[in-house]
Amino acid sequence: MALLRGQTQTALALGALMMWVVGCQGPFPQSTLAPTADFGAHIDDLFRWIFWFAVAVFVVVEALLVYVLIRYRARPGAPEPERVHGNTLLEIGWTMVPAIILILIAAPTIQTIFRTDGTPAEGALEVDVIGHQWWWEYRYPEFGITTANELHVQQGRQVSLRLTSQDVIHSFWAPRLGGKRDVIAGRTNRLAFTPDSVGVFLGQCAEFCGESHAKMGLRVMVDAPEDFAAWVERERSAPAPAESLSALARQGLEAFRLVREPASNSCIACHAVQAVSFGVLGPNLSHVGGRTTVGAAALPNTPAGLAQWLRDPVAVKPGSKMPRIGLTEDEITALVAYLQGLR
Amino acid sequence: MTHAPAHAHATSTGLDNKKLAFWTFIGSECLLFGSLISTYLIYKGRSVRGPTPQEILNIPLTSVSTFDLLMSSLAMVLALAAVTRGDRLWARVWLGTTALLGALFLGFQAYEFTAFVHEGLTITTNLFGSTFFTLTGFHGGHVFVGVVWLLTLLVRSFQGKLGPDKTINVEIAGLYWHFVDVVWIVIFTVVYLIQ
Amino acid sequence: MATAVAHEAPATRSVLWSWITTTDHKRIGILYGVTAFAFFLLGGLEALVIRLQLARSENDLVSADMFNQLFTMHGTTMVFLAIMPLSAAFFNYIVPLQIGARDVAFPRLNAFSYWVFLFGGLILNSSFIAGPLFGAGSLSVAPNAGWFGYANLTSRAYSPGANIDFWVLGLQILGVASLAAGFNFIVTIVNLRAPGMRLMRLPVFTWMTLVTQFIVVTAFPVITIALVFLMFDRFFGTNFYSVSAGGDLLLWQHLFWLFGHPEVYILILPAMGIVSEVLPTFSRKPLFGYAVVVYSGLLIGVMGWGVWSHHMFSVGLGPIPDSVFAATTMLIAIPTGVKIFNWLATMWGGQLRFTTAMLFAVGFIAMFIIGGLSGVMHAAPPADLQQTDTYFVVGHIHYVLFGGAIQGIFAGIYYWWPKVTGRLMNERLGRVHFTLSFIGMNLAFFPMHFIGLLGMPRRVYTYGPELGLDTLNLVSTVGALLIGVSVLVFLVNAWRTRRHGDIAGNDPWGAATLEWTIPSPPPAYNFTVIPEVVSRLPRWSRTQMKAIPDVPPEPVHVPGGSYWPIVAAAGLAGMAVGALFHTLWVVLAAAAVLVVAIYAWAFEPFEV
């Protein structure tokens, strides 16, 4: 009848809309459906297996429903329906068939659980990931590097993440590489993946962690082996000596080192720059100039973006622990020159 | 106008409504205490600083208070029997005894808590302090409610309002009291005896 | 003031007083229904603001903190203040009628449950305007750490304001209401059945109510303890969720989800019960596989205790626990599926009449299948690692909770409205409501599956344009607005029915169960004589039960009201308010009120 036709039309329209959006819109940089690492690929295989079973069950059951609604709608003058109270055979049937489908789903599920449990192989690149409100700290014990927010890894080499938190629970999620893993204080979780494509992959925190949870982004940079080695070299190198800086950058260095009132407004109170300062409350800035974003992917790392961040971090990330210091525009310009030179 | 008194309503199971409700309540309380006891067990041995249970728990003293609570359950049984047979004097004696023994248990607990605080264990000191005081405190709170309940029944008895027709009320109070006792047995075993 | 004779009007008591002191399950049911629906509208408004904020990327309709409060309150309100009490409205009104009883086992406890629910909901929502009282910088200090309040975000260190205090205390109060009602309904259903109403003759709605109440009384103590630990940490400095003291943050999650998963069955089983009543009536056929439907409900209630860690697949429990919970979660899909097939078989061969109630019941089946299938996808931990904490889950929960529970509840509203009010709702408006709602919900929630799989986490106050998800989010917002319109249509229908609805009579639908044997609305005493039941479908059975006379052969005793339930509820609420303000004397004074009320209640001459 009319109502049913209308609903069927809506369903088809909705389905078509979805296909159009997913197929023709995009790109979707945080998609889980286009994996570029083994972790994501294993998950995707399993998901598709389950998905098609789900589609089949959906089609069968909804079709049955629609058929019943049309075929058995009341007709005037029709006799009273026969009083059927049950049928044991049917009950057994529609208990066994779902059970069998579930077994077919469960077996590869358990296989994939063990395959993706985060135990690394020999020779994996170990990175300690420490979650903070609202940024990511990365330490590479193999190289003695500490950096933040942008995780560089090497194409083809397995990455083994050891995840913990400094404060509340977060969740590390780079969808194109694989699933997420929570980052919990007092606990070390593991996540492992081998990226197979060079590129920049977006991610963000996926466990509500307070006011700026939505702004706790991350980037995973999968570098070709030689680029990765170069990145490691840069990260390990000391910053350029003060004498070699431009005048503006030297002013920036002074502004960075300035002890302000209150002391917690000083950059050096929270941030570390190799051979300059040793703060641990905020991201390590030794090579911040080489990053593509600031504020954990809140803004692009351009002069304008960095200036906006320095001017008022709280406006960009509500609740930010980095205060609005009240820097002058000259200070900001100088700091931008200095910080962008730290590559 | 006539009306049938409440207890004349037949119930589908034959069980009194209040008694059935109370058993359901006890089932619920099992999960309450179960969660508290599970947490105690999960956190056992995980305190980062002392005092530890081994250092501070006084098993001989707590054995006495445990015995006291067990005896109170016996007194409760006797109280119920007295009420059932309409023995006003002994109903009052045994109800009073149960309440007294319950209050004595609380006295032991108050002494124990005070001693622990002096020895440096408070509810905020460490995991042991938090779980211990919360678990035994909840239990003690239940004992306190029970003592008040028993005293209320005692007063009712003195008012002549606790005849054999009110047996069900005493029975339910007894159910509560025995439950609280059983929970204590579990707590005593898990916290004091097994270390 | 405890006794009254049925057909004498109460003396000079005002109408308001009669409602405040009522212990009549029918009135309490109405109170629950109206109050819960008001909270449902509030939760819906919260949802609309959320959707408006998310309609496009980098929107700034509301601040981050306000958004976090909104999604927290939306979830908390819909679960505890809307769906649960809407179900309770039906438990209250319908269950005694279905079992042939005059009221519930403990009418005053019933009233107490309602008042505690009302006060708890008011306390929780007062946080929206309580900021100034707590020295906050804003008007609103509503809870803002999610409806699931994970430690240690909820600790005093990371949530220093009053927000979480409101959440903890509000939920503890609401828990008391639910527990009291749980005890009441278990005793009612087990002990107050009319002669001949064997357990396997109970209507499925009453059965599902019984199972739900068992879940309530076993699950709520667990969250009570979880909240006690949080409260003690926040108020007294204990160490339950303190990492530095050696505590485990997962303790909160285990305790919460041990409650939380059974809770979702509390939310869905009553609606399944309603569907199991509505479908047979409008198919003119008995429920297919009655015993199987009952047993699967029981099974779901029991098995629901074995799946909780499927909410924790991303916390790193390890492959063995993950595998175990994956298996138990998949298993529970079986009894759920069985119900759906039995419903389909009920309609097969029937004569289907598409009243609004029937439309919503059928809508339940159609939408619950989708929610159930996405649930099976979540059941596989590796796949869940992509889906959890994203909009995919948000899609899943809204298909089962809106497409399922809310549609089931609307089916119940349209079905039993004539029994409660004596008038029929307008069917044309009802069809408009259903159609708008059906289209709206699919527009709102189906895109969420894609939004999630394409990388948008949940509980985010904004998202970047680079994600490419603006269009899908906009579609979802349009759907949400459509749902809002559909609810307005319902409200218009409800309002018009008061004057213009057709008179219903005892049994407008030709239904099978006992509540349709008595007038609409029923008299205070429900049944002139307690019926003697001889079959599962009293009105359809070939074996007719003895006819119930139109007037009581002798005066029926109906208990009068009592004001001690509301006083006791006020005492309990006062304790929470005192705790909120950290003032001991208020807590003690309110406790004294509570104790006095309990004693007065115990010794009041009140005959059921």
Element housing C233 (H / E): helix C204-236
Give A160's strand partners.
A126, A192
What is the pLDDT averaged over residues C399-411? Answer: 98
- Ranges A237-241, C228-232, C428-432: which has the least confidence: A237-241
Give A277's strand partners.
A273
β-bridge pairing A293-294 and A181-183: unpaired
Q: Which among C333, C390, C439 has CB closest to A102?
A: C333
Provide the residue type at A95 as one letter: T
Beta-carbon contacts of residue C12 (< 8 Å; ≥ 6 apart): none
- State how far the Cα of C359 lies from the Cα of C362, in Å rounded to an integer: 5
Indicate the average pLDDT of chain C. Answer: 96
Residue C381 with chain A: CB contacts under 8 Å: 109, 113
**Chain C touched by B52 (CB under 8 Å):** no
Chain C residues 67-86 with a CB less than 8 Å from chain A: 68
Residue-level pLDDT at A9: 67
What ipTM does this complex have?
Answer: 0.95
Phi, psi values for residue C58, rounded to 5°: 50, 40
CB atoms within 10 A of CB C52: 15
Q: What is the DSSP letter of B28?
A: H
- Write the pLDDT tens digit of every residue in C519-533: 999 999 999 999 999
Record the tokens describing residue C119, joined without a space: 């006060």
Is the model's pLDDT at A243 over the cut of 70? yes
Beta-carbon contacts of residue A339 (< 8 Å; ≥ 6 apart): A252, A256, A285, A288, A289, A306
Least Cα separation, residue A218 to chain C (angstroms): 13
Residue B130 with chain C: CB contacts under 8 Å: 232, 238-240, 245
β-bridge pairing A170-172 and A181-183: antiparallel
Contact C527, C102 (CB under 8 A): yes
Is the model's pLDDT at C2 over the cut of 70? no
**What is the three-class DSSP state of A220?**
strand
Long-range contacts of B143-149 (CB under 8 A, 24+ apart): B143/B69, B143/B102, B143/B105, B143/B106, B143/B109, B143/B180, B144/B106, B146/B102, B146/B173, B146/B176, B146/B177, B146/B180, B147/B99, B147/B102, B147/B103, B147/B106, B149/B173, B149/B176
- State how far the Cα of B95 lies from the Cα of B72, in Å rounded to an integer: 9
Test mutation, C113, C190, C199, C595, chain B, max B CBs within 10 A: C190
What is the pLDDT averaged over residues C375-402? Answer: 98
Within its chain, how far is the Cα of C261 from the centroid? 14
Confidence of residue C546 (pLDDT cuts 50, 70, 90): confident
Q: Name the percent of chain A in helix, strand, coil, to the closest 5.
A: 45, 20, 40
Same fold yes or no, A125-236 and A242-340: yes
The DSSP line for C532-592 is ---SSSTTT-SSPPPPPPSS-SSPPEEE---SHHHHHHHHHHHHHHHHHTT-HHHHHHHHH
CA-CA-CA-CA dihedral for C201, C204, C206, C210, to nearest 10: 100
Provide the residue type at C317 as one letter: L
- State how far the Cα of C82 lies from the Cα of C364, in Å rounded to an integer: 18
Between 3.20.130.10, 3.40.50.720, 2.60.40.420, 3.30.460.10, what CATH number should domain A242-340 receive?
2.60.40.420
CA-CA-CA-CA dihedral for C551, C557, C561, C564, to nearest 10: -160
- State how far the Cα of C69 lies from the Cα of A190, in Å rounded to an integer: 32
- State how far the Cα of C493 lies from the Cα of C487, in Å rounded to an integer: 10
Q: Which among A61, A69, A83 has CB closest to C362?
A: A69
Residue A114 with chain C: CB contacts under 8 Å: 319, 323
CA distances from C149 to C72, C204, C378 (A): 9, 35, 21
**Domains along chain B with CATH numbers:** 63-195 (1.20.120.80)
The DSSP line for C457-522 is BSS-S---GGG--HHHHHHHHHHHHHHHHHHHHHHHHHHHHHHHSPB--S-TT---SGGGGS-SSP
Peptide bond into B60 cis (omega under 30): no
Contact C100, C197 (CB under 8 A): yes
Residue-level pLDDT at C8: 42
Of C591, C607, C573, C593, whose CA–CA distance to C124 is shortest?
C573
Give C559's strand partners.
C3
Is the model's pLDDT at C7 over the cut of 60? no
Residue-level pLDDT at C547: 85
Indicate the average pLDDT of chain A. Answer: 94
Of A212, A205, A209, whose CA–CA distance to A316 is shortest?
A212
Q: Which CATH superfamily is domain C3-7+24-561 in?
A: Cytochrome c oxidase-like, subunit I domain (1.20.210.10)
Whether C236 sits inside 8 A of B124 (CB atoms) is yes
Residue-level pLDDT at A3: 64
Beta-carbon contacts of residue A169 (< 8 Å; ≥ 6 apart): A131, A182, A183, A184, A185, A207, A209, C150, C152, C153, C249
Whether A318 sits inside 8 A of C64 (CB atoms) is yes
What is the pLDDT averaged over residues C575-586? Answer: 97
**Chain C touched by A314 (CB under 8 Å):** no
The DSSP line for C518-546 is S-SSPPTTS-SS-----SSSTTT-SSPPP
- Write the pLDDT tens digit of every residue in C40-88: 999 999 999 999 999 999 999 999 999 999 999 999 999 999 999 999 9
Of B4, B2, B5, whose CA–CA distance to B165 is shortest?
B5
What is the pLDDT averaged over residues A103-123? Answer: 95
Whether A85 sits inside 8 A of C288 (CB atoms) is yes
**What is the three-class DSSP state of A106?**
helix
Is the model's pLDDT at C28 over the cut of 50? yes
CB atoms within 10 A of CB A71: 11
Element housing A128 (H / E): strand A125-132
Q: Which among B9, B32, B126 has CB closest to C221?
A: B32
Element housing A129 (H / E): strand A125-132
Confidence of residue A241 (pLDDT cuts 50, 70, 90): confident
Give the chains touching B; criterion: ≥3 Cβ pairs < 8 Å.
C
Within its chain, how far is the Cα of B132 from the centroid? 17
Element housing C213 (H / E): helix C204-236
Domain boundaries, chain A: 2-115, 125-236, 242-340
- Write the pLDDT tens digit of every residue in C123-165: 999 999 999 999 998 999 999 999 999 999 999 999 999 999 9
What's the predicted TM-score (pTM) here? Answer: 0.96
Residue C347 with chain A: CB contacts under 8 Å: 68-69, 72
Q: Which among C218, C237, C238 has CB closest to B28?
A: C218
Element housing A92 (H / E): helix A88-115
Q: Which among A43, A61, A214 has CB closest to C386?
A: A43
**Chain B touched by C323 (CB under 8 Å):** no
In this complex, whether C and A touch, counting 3 or more CB pairs under 8 angstroms, is yes
pLDDT in tens, chain B (195 residues): 333 344 446 899 999 999 999 999 999 999 999 999 999 999 999 999 989 999 999 999 999 999 999 999 999 999 999 999 999 999 999 999 999 999 999 999 999 999 999 999 999 999 999 999 999 999 999 999 999 999 999 999 999 999 999 999 999 999 999 999 999 999 999 999 987
β-bridge pairing A159-165 and A125-132: parallel
Of B6, A103, A288, whose CA–CA distance to C192 is shortest?
B6
Chain C residues 506-565 with a CB less than 8 Å from chain B: 554-555, 557
Whether B124 sits inside 8 A of C239 (CB atoms) is yes
Is the model's pLDDT at A13 over the cut of 80? no
- State how far the Cα of A158 lies from the Cα of A140, in Å rounded to an integer: 14
Contact C397, C322 (CB under 8 A): no
CA-CA-CA-CA dihedral for C232, C238, C241, C246, to nearest 10: -170
What is the spatial order of strands in the sheet that A135-140 belongs to? A145-148, A135-140, A125-132, A159-165, A189-193
CATH class of A125-236: mainly beta
N- to C-terminal Cα separation, chain C:
13
Contact B98, B91 (CB under 8 A): no
The DSSP line for C40-103 is HHHHHHHHHHHHHHTTSTT--SS-HHHHHHHHHHHHHIIIIIIIHHHHHHHHHHHHHHHHT-SS
- Write the pLDDT tens digit of every residue in A145-186: 999 999 999 999 999 999 999 999 999 999 999 999 999 999
CA distances from B67 to A75, A322, B176 (A): 76, 60, 18
Give the nearest chain A residue to C471 (CA atoms): A21
Which CATH number describes the domain made up of A2-115?
1.10.287.90
Q: Which among A6, A182, A206 has CB closest to C457?
A: A206
Whether A210 sits inside 8 A of C158 (CB atoms) is yes
**Chain B touched by C217 (CB under 8 Å):** yes
- Ranges A132-146, C195-209, C594-608: which has the least confidence: C594-608
**What is the three-class DSSP state of C218?**
helix
What is the pLDDT averaged over residues C416-443? Answer: 97
Residue-level pLDDT at C195: 96
CA-CA-CA-CA dihedral for C318, C322, C324, C325, to nearest 10: 140
- Ranges B140-154, C255-269, C542-556, C577-591: which has the least confidence: C542-556
Residue-level pLDDT at C473: 97
Percent of chain A with pLDDT over 70: 95
- Write the pLDDT tens digit of every residue in A44-77: 999 999 999 999 999 999 999 999 999 999 999 9
Please count the residues of chain B: 195
Record the tokens describing residue A329, joined without a space: 């525009």
